[in-house]
Structure 1
Amino acid sequence: MNASDRFARAALDDAQLDWLAAQPATLGLDGIRLVHGTARSDVEQLLETVEPTGLRAATDAEIAVRLGDDSAMLTLCGHSHLPGVRTLGDGRTAANPGSVGLQAYREDLPFPHVAQTGDPRARYALVRGMQVELRAIAYDHATAATKAEREGRDDWAFALRTGFAPD
């Protein structure tokens, strides 16, 4: 478990953990699939590929494999914190709105890599039918960064202020 997961786990009580455990890994509604990473894994990235050399954009073929035979025309994912929309040749679209509150991080698994937007604004997406519009909005990220510092998370504070992962 990484430092962020340990921090979040420590903040949750048993009732909250039970509620989270009872939630489905994926959710489908009206031709839209909601996943954290991919439908098959919470820790796999849908729109990016992690290699020994770092993070890169996934190819259409890689995204198609990760989507599998899911008939949903739109899959909304998270995990990487990086906003992006990709439409495949078969018409299926995969979109990641990005992160509301953490625009950059470093991770060691499956290989060391950095994900960063270079911009501290919060990210979200508007979905109308099967169309996805990515949005970024300013918020008081300085206050969030100060709270992160109080919690002993200087790495988060830097990312919150800058949109970049610290060296």
Structure 2
Amino acid sequence: MSDGPHADLDPALVSTRSVELAVMALLLCLAIFLGWDNWRLGAGWAPDGPQPGYFPFYLAVLLGGASLWGIAAALRSEELREEIFVGRSAFGRVLRVFLPTIGFVLLVQLIGLYVASFVFIAAFMVFVGRLAVWKSLLTGFVFSALMFYVFDVQFNVLMPKGPLEAAFGF
């Protein structure tokens, strides 16, 4: 059940039962794929010991069995049918975090980690946190610069870089 004083005012978007069924079905598909792939590699016992797919195959069998058990349990449960997994307003709040995060991942590929981090942090603070623009820009810059100093300068770790870092010779 949803918690909070306005839980009844938030219309249901999806039930717990449907989410559990979807997750179990995805896990079952994963188990079938992993089982098939490991069977292809060899899931038996060779004269010198287990073949490469032996242990992963049986783990996939266990995952598939657990998924089937979960599907059966979810279909039998009347409680889960009525229980609200997420309401419309709560889902909107999740999307306000999830969509910018997906954008950040795409930006890393285009403009590098440090510039993407600056954009993500500053934009997130302004639009989601409703903080002052100057504070957001300063925080994004300090965090990105600190991250660059720690990873690139001190630890010499290769991180995804974009055109700005290339312009400065990094």
The TM-score normalised by the length of structure 2 is: 0.25
Q: Comparing both structures, which one devotes a greater share of its residues to helix?
A: 2
Relative contact order (alpha carbons < 8 A, sep ≥ 6): 1 or 2 greater? 2
Higher gyration radius (CA): 2
Q: What is the TM-score with the length of structure 1 in the denominator?
A: 0.25
Higher strand share: 1
